[in-house]
Structure 1
Amino acid sequence: MSTTNTLGLSVSPGDLTGPAAFIAWNWFFAYVVLAPRTPKQIYGIDHNNNPRQDVNKYGSEAVRSGKMTQAQLELVQRVEAASANSTEGYILFTASVLFALVAGVPRDTIMSLCTVYSAARVVYGAAYVFIARHPWTLIRSTVWWVANVSCLYLLWTGATVQRM
């Protein structure tokens, strides 16, 4: 038996396809889409021998030598920060979805909150990378909270769900 939730997503009571797809999509977004490797390769500061130190070690020199501008270096720094935050947030998201599934939270609730989280993370990533001026950077903080509250709500719902 399939039901449709308030977002128009079709879910079946025992179907794990939707939650699994959200977990996989958010992994791809955090670890691939927001990966800083491509921007670092574009500007010639990618060194695989110690990639987490590339921006610190080679960024300033790349600006001094004209390989990139200070604004481009700051963009790469924001990509790195967005990537780090997204991979950190992915753990809470995955844990909250799995907890909700085990606890028996209705699938439509899980799917709705997965959608909210995913949309917030996309907006967060774009805001972090492309918005560099205050007060517009507050958009990033706001959607960060939206994403995390959706995870916390999943945990709370799982902890308070009434079993039949």
Structure 2
Amino acid sequence: MATSYLGLGLHTSSTTFAGPAAFLAWNWFYAYCVLASRTLKQWHGIDHNGNPRQDINKYGAAAIREGKLTQAQLEQIQRMEAASANSVEGYTFFAASVLLALVANVPRPTLTAACTTYTIARLVYGAVYVLIPHDLYSQLRGIAWWTGNTSCLFLLWKAARSSVLSA
């Protein structure tokens, strides 16, 4: 197995980062692509590339009047935009916690478990945000949000306790 020098006195095999890199790539794709509202807006004919962040504000009411979409569909697109924005914002925290855990040599099973927890929590978060408009049931979104962020905080805690960073 080939090893390479990472700096900070750390050595790693060439396959060591495959799992964490896959989690980082998937969560980036989910936040920036899967939850992007652009496809839904194109489907309903209200996507305007000249100023796409204003599509809903500028053309939403007119699209309802013209029968392009219903109020419920418009609200779903709004929730999708909010879920995407929150996922993009949260991705930075996730990436930073994963990278710090890697540098600190947090045990791989611990890192994988935290990344899996975060990924599942974000999938649940996005699905609940986009698909559930009911006030009571949408509370599941908050549970999923806290679960994902707690997994990141856990990685930071494990990294802080690492002997690599304590030395």
Calculate the TM-score normalised by the size of structure 1. 0.90
Identity of aligned residues (%): 60
Map 1:73-112 to 2 at 5 A: 73-112=74-113
Q: Tell me the matched-pair count.
A: 153
Please give the alpha-carbon distance, in whole angstroms, between the structure 2 residues aligned to 1:89 and 1:106: 23
Please give the alpha-carbon distance, in whole angstroms, between the structure 1 residues aligned to 2:91 and 2:49: 24
Map 1:57-72 to 2 at 5 A: 57-72=58-73
Please give the alpha-carbon distance, in whole angstroms, between the structure 2 residues aligned to 1:26 and 1:129: 17
Extract structure 1 runs of 4+ deviating beyond 4 A.
none
Cα-to-partner distance string for 1:12-37 (whole Å, 9 max, x where unaligned): x7411000000001011111111110
User: Does 2:42 match 1:38?
Assistant: no
User: Does 2:163 match 1:162?
Assistant: yes
Please give the alpha-carbon distance, in whole angstroms, between the structure 1 residues aligned to 2:78 and 2:143: 20
User: How big is the shift at 1:162?
Assistant: 2.6
Equivalent position of 2:5 in the other structure = none
Equivalent position of 1:54 in the other structure = 55
3-state SS of paired residue (1:47): coil
Cα-to-partner distance string for 1:38-93 (whole Å, 9 max, x where unaligned): 00001111001111111111111111221111001001001101111111111110
Equivalent position of 2:7 in the other structure = none
Equivalent position of 1:5 in the other structure = none
Please give the alpha-carbon distance, in whole angstroms, between the structure 2 residues aligned to 1:89 and 1:126: 16
Query: Which ranges of structure 2 fall in alignment gaps of 5 or more residues?
Result: 2-11
Please give the alpha-carbon distance, in whole angstroms, between the structure 1 residues aligned to 2:151 and 2:20: 14
Query: Which ranges of structure 1 fall in alignment gaps of 5 or more residues?
Result: 2-12
Equivalent position of 2:119 in the other structure = 118
Please give the alpha-carbon distance, in whole angstroms, between the structure 1 residues aligned to 2:65 and 2:49: 22
3-state SS of paired residue (1:142): helix
**Counterpart residue type for residue 103 of structure 1:** A
Calculate the TM-score normalised by the size of structure 2. 0.88
User: How big is the shift at 1:156?
Assistant: 1.2
Name the structure, 1 or 2, with higher relative contact order (CA <8 Å, separation 6+): 1
